[in-house]
Structure 1
Amino acid sequence: MRKLTLFLCWLLAARAQAHDVEQEVVAKDVLRWGSEWYVMALLALSLGLYVLGAARLWRRAHGSRAALRRQFACFLGGWIVLALALASPIDGAGSLAFSAHMVQHELLMIVAGPLLVLGRPLGAWTWALPAAWRGGVGRATHGRLLSVFWREITRPLTAWLLHFAALWVWHVPFLFQAGLEDNNVHALQHASFLFTGLLFWWAVLGKHRRSAARGAGIVYLFTTMMYTGALGALFTVSESIWYPAYGHNATYFGLTALEDQQLGGLIMWIPAGLVYLAAGLMLSAGWLQRGDTAAGLSLGARQ
Structure 2
Amino acid sequence: MHAGHPSPLDWLPFLLVVLVTCQYLMAAWLQRLEGHWSLWRCGFFVLGSTLLAIAFWPSLMRWAHADLVGHMTLHLLIGMFAPLAWVLAAPVTLLLKTLPQAGGKWMVALLHSRFIRFLAHPVTALLLNVGGMYVLYLTPLYAASLQNSALHYLIHLHFLLAGYLFCWAILAEPDASPHRLGVRVRLGVLFAAIATHSLLGKLMYGWGFPRNTGHTLEHVQAAAQWMYYGGDLAEVLLAVVLMTCWLRRPVGRREALLGSHPQTG
TM-score with structure 1 setting the length: 0.73
Is the Cα contact below 8 Å between 1:33 and 1:89 reproduced in 2? no
- RMSD (Å) for aligned C-alpha atoms: 3.0
Gapped regions of structure 1 (runs ≥ 5) = 1-25, 249-256, 298-303
1:158 to 91, 100, 124: 124
Match of 1:268 in 2: 227
Comparing both structures, which one devotes a greater share of its residues to helix? 1
- Report matched runs for 1:130-149 at 5 Å: 134-143=100-109, 147-149=113-115
- Report matched runs for 1:1-303 at 5 Å: 29=4, 36-62=10-36, 65=37, 68-125=38-95, 134-143=100-109, 147-207=113-173, 208=176, 212-238=181-207, 240=208, 242-245=210-213, 247=214, 257-284=216-243, 286-287=245-246, 290=249, 293-294=251-252
Is the Cα contact below 8 Å between 2:24 and 2:91 reproduced in 1? yes
* Identity among equivalent pairs (%): 24
For residues 226-270 of structure 1, what are the alpha-carbon distances to aligned partners after superposition, in whole Å with 9 as ceiling and x for unaligned? 1111111122223x463333x36xxxxxxxx22211111001111
- Structure 1 residues 46 and 126, CA gap change in structure 2 (3 angstroms): farther
Gapped regions of structure 2 (runs ≥ 5) = 256-265
Amino acid of the structure 2 residue aligned with 1:46: V
1:113, CA displacement in angstroms? 0.9
For residues 57-114 of structure 1, what are the alpha-carbon distances to aligned partners after superposition, in whole Å with 9 as ceiling and x for unaligned? 111224xx4xx11110100000010111112533121122111101111111110010
Bigger Rg, which one: 1
Aligned mates of 2:171, 2:121 — CA distance in 1: 11
Match of 1:17 in 2: none
1:33, CA displacement in angstroms? 11
- Structure 1 residues 156 and 296, CA gap change in structure 2 (3 angstroms): closer
Aligned mates of 2:244, 2:147 — CA distance in 1: 45
Aligned mates of 1:178, 1:295 — CA distance in 2: 49
1:126, CA displacement in angstroms? 5.1
TM-score with structure 2 setting the length: 0.82
- Structure 1 residues 244 and 111, CA gap change in structure 2 (3 angstroms): same
Is the Cα contact below 8 Å between 1:52 and 1:128 reproduced in 2? no
Amino acid of the structure 2 residue aligned with 1:163: N
For residues 163-218 of structure 1, what are the alpha-carbon distances to aligned partners after superposition, in whole Å with 9 as ceiling and x for unaligned? 13211112134111111110111121111111111110011122235774332111
Aligned mates of 2:135, 2:254 — CA distance in 1: 47
